[in-house]
Amino acid sequence: METMTAKTSTLGRLRRFALSESILLLLLLMFGGAALFAPGFLSLFNIKNLLLQSVDIMVVSVGMTFVLLNGGIDFSCVAVLALGSVFGAWTMADSPLAHTPMAIPAGILVMVGIGLLVGAINGLSVVVLKMPSFIATLATMMVGSGVAVWFASLVAEKASIIGLPESFFILGGDQGILLPVAIVLVLALLAHWLLSTTLFGRWVYAVGTNPRAAFVSGMPVKRTVFLLMVLSGVFAGIQSVLATARNQAGIPSLGDRVFIDIVASIIIGGTSVFGGSGSVIKTVYGVLFITLLNNVVNLLGIEWYVISLIKGILVLTAAFIDVFSKRVDLVQR
């Protein structure tokens, strides 16, 4: 069998780069196009908005990337957003700890803790009960969002929980976008570091590519799958913190509309739904792309619902590319 010649020529390298980082190119193209054609795109106000909106789903998308790398999906992330928001807000506003210096740290702990809990439940369902991830996380999503709404109705007259300590809001961009953007950046870098440089990251890729070979090679498959589900939950919990700060209230319906944005970001970013290939950076580009798309559609005065259509088409295209690139590889062999 002939071995494939390595493409060490510059043209080859360029081509490979273009293929693998196509999302980046797409992103730059869209940015350029927007700058040229969308009125008010380059205004400071708009750029600020853009950044804040990308912050809205960046953390949770990065977290869910780990699950997709394993060939699974995590529906429950949106429920974690809601649950965390509601319980965290209550902790900070109405619980015995409210109005104490412990209020904010406790609230954050609660929100992240909920993410951890939900992630652990998902992990156990997949690893121990051997349920397919999409059902396990679907069930936790349903239960979770139900609990969120129920709890909110229990403790608040209106639909959301208000009265959070004001200093909490700086996490949401109250005093300038620098803090939330910085937090998100750090988290993304952390996730990227975890995935691309640590042993755990290698295990995630290996298990996602071929769990049987990983098992025979002595990698802890069950542990890895469990941990990556927990990770997804924790990141969703952190996102809940940021979102609650931004909205300045505990909202039980948080995350209702963003699931498709999250999944679209990851898939369009280039992570394969079959598992084994993708990266945090790709998801970051994907999130920026989706946010940009939302923003541009807005600025151009296109009705916001056209975007649903566009997103659907983009996801489909990305899925096709994913499938075909695998088929081509097989054929070449």
Site map 191..210 versus other proteins, x via CB under 8 A: ------xxxx-x--xx--xx
Backbone angles phi, psi at 208, to 5 degrees: -70, -30
Q: Is 161 helix (H, G, I), strand (E, B) or coil?
A: strand
Backbone angles phi, psi at 250, to 5 degrees: -90, 115
Sites for other proteins among residues 97-136 (CB under 8 A)? 125, 129-132, 134-136
Interacting residues of 282 by C-beta distance below 8 A, sequence separation 6+: 23, 65, 266, 269, 270, 271
Sites for other proteins among residues 251-280 (CB under 8 A)? 260, 263-264, 267, 273-274, 276-277
Complex with other proteins: residue 181 or 321, whichever CB lies closer: 321
Q: How far is the CB of 175 from other proteins (least distance, A)?
A: 33
Report the amino acid identity of residue 51.
L
Q: Are 152 and 161 in contact (CB under 8 A)?
A: yes
Q: Are 304 and 322 in contact (CB under 8 A)?
A: no
Phi-psi region of 276 (alpha: psi -120 to 50; beta: other; left: phi over 0): left
User: Any contact of residue 40 with other proteins (CB under 8 A)?
Assistant: no
Q: How far is the CB of 174 from other proteins (least distance, A)?
A: 30
Interacting residues of 140 by C-beta distance below 8 A, sequence separation 6+: 75, 76, 79, 118, 121, 122, 125
CA distances from 188 to 58, 185, 280 (A): 8, 5, 7
C-alpha 193/C-alpha 39 separation (Å) is 38
Which one of residues 52, 297, 310, 321 is an interface residue with other proteins (CB under 8 A)? 310
Query: Residues binding other proteins: what is the number (CB under 8 A)?
Result: 74
Complex with other proteins: residue 180 or 201, whichever CB lies closer: 201
Complex with other proteins: residue 181 or 319, whichever CB lies closer: 319
Q: How far is the CB of 265 from other proteins (least distance, A)?
A: 13
Q: How far is the CB of 220 from other proteins (least distance, A)?
A: 6
Q: What six digits make up the tokens of 37?
A: 């054609």
Complex with other proteins: residue 36 or 331, whichever CB lies closer: 331
Which residue shows structure tokens 């109705």? 153
Q: Which of 12, 46, 254, 41 is nearest to 141 (CA)?
A: 254
Complex with other proteins: residue 158 or 212, whichever CB lies closer: 212
Complex with other proteins: residue 11 or 199, whichever CB lies closer: 199
User: Any contact of residue 21 with other proteins (CB under 8 A)?
Assistant: no
Q: How far is the CB of 98 from other proteins (least distance, A)?
A: 23
User: Any contact of residue 316 with other proteins (CB under 8 A)?
Assistant: yes
CA 143 to chain centre: 20
Q: What six digits make up the tokens of 62?
A: 């990065």
Q: How far is the CB of 99 from other proteins (least distance, A)?
A: 27
User: Any contact of residue 31 with other proteins (CB under 8 A)?
Assistant: no
User: Any contact of residue 313 with other proteins (CB under 8 A)?
Assistant: yes
Sites for other proteins among residues 216-245 (CB under 8 A)? 216-220
Site map 131..170 versus other proteins, x via CB under 8 A: xx-xxx-xxxxxxxxxxxxx--xx----------------
Sites for other proteins among residues 42-101 (CB under 8 A)? 73
Interacting residues of 51 by C-beta distance below 8 A, sequence separation 6+: 177, 181
User: Any contact of residue 331 with other proteins (CB under 8 A)?
Assistant: no
C-alpha 159/C-alpha 148 separation (Å) is 11
Q: How far is the CB of 200 from other proteins (least distance, A)?
A: 6
Complex with other proteins: residue 214 or 241, whichever CB lies closer: 214
